[in-house]
């Protein structure tokens, strides 16, 4: 499944919230940039058709939506595609870039070390 940047932005909001309405999502996005309610509703409808969102309940005429797809399910193909396009399929290059160029604090580095340690155990 592929998502546009805007669809991914909307999904991020649904992942942060257990459930939300189209007006609630529009209100949040409209604080970041100018966008019509109808545009946000169209994106929500598309995500519903892609089985990424579902209608979980109604209250009067208000429809509440919730994410069906988990973050990791959506992220994995996006990240793999990104690595393929930007780093020619070399995840090592991405990891090196993050370690060398991104601003990491001590907590970030310790977390990455623990991930690497666990990964190493899996390979033995």
What are the extents of the domains in the chain?
Answer: 5-67, 90-124
Is residue 81's pLDDT more than 70?
yes
In this structure, how many other beta carbons lie within 10 angstroms of the beta carbon of residue 41? Answer: 15
Write down the pLDDT at residue 3.
Answer: 86
Question: Nearest CA to 14 among 39, 44, 37, 42?
Answer: 44
Q: Please name the CATH architecture into which domain 5-67 falls.
A: Orthogonal Bundle (1.10)
In this structure, how many other beta carbons lie within 10 angstroms of the beta carbon of residue 104? Answer: 14
Q: In which residue are the tokens 């996005």 written?
A: 29
Write down the pLDDT at residue 60.
Answer: 94
Average pLDDT over residues 97-103: 93
Cα–Cα distance between 120 and 106 in angstroms, integer? 21
Strand 20-21 with 53-59, pairing: unpaired
Q: Fill in the DSSP letter of residue 88.
A: T
What are the residue ranges of helices labelled H in the chain? 5-16, 22-32, 37-49, 71-87, 91-101, 106-123
**Percent residues over pLDDT 70 in the chain:** 99
Is residue 1's pLDDT more than 80?
no
Write down the pLDDT at residue 75.
Answer: 87
Write down the pLDDT at residue 74.
Answer: 87
Write down the pLDDT at residue 18.
Answer: 87
Which three-class secondary structure state does DSSP give residue 70? Answer: coil
pTM greater than 0.85 (yes/no): no
């Amino acid at each position: 499944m592929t998502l546009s940047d805007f669809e991914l932005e909307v999904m991020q909001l649904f992942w942060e919230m257990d459930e939300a309405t189209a007006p609630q999502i529009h209100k949040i996005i409209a604080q970041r940039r100018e966008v019509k309610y109808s545009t946000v509703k169209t994106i929500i409808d598309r995500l519903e058709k892609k089985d990424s969102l579902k209608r979980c309940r109604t209250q009067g005429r208000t429809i509440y939506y919730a994410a069906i797809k988990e973050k990791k399910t959506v992220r994995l193909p996006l990240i793999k595609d990104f690595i393929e396009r930007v780093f020619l399929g070399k995840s090592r290059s991405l990891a090196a870039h993050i370690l060398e160029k991104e601003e990491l604090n001590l907590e970030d580095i310790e977390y990455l070390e623990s991930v690497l340690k666990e990964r190493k155990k899996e390979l033995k």
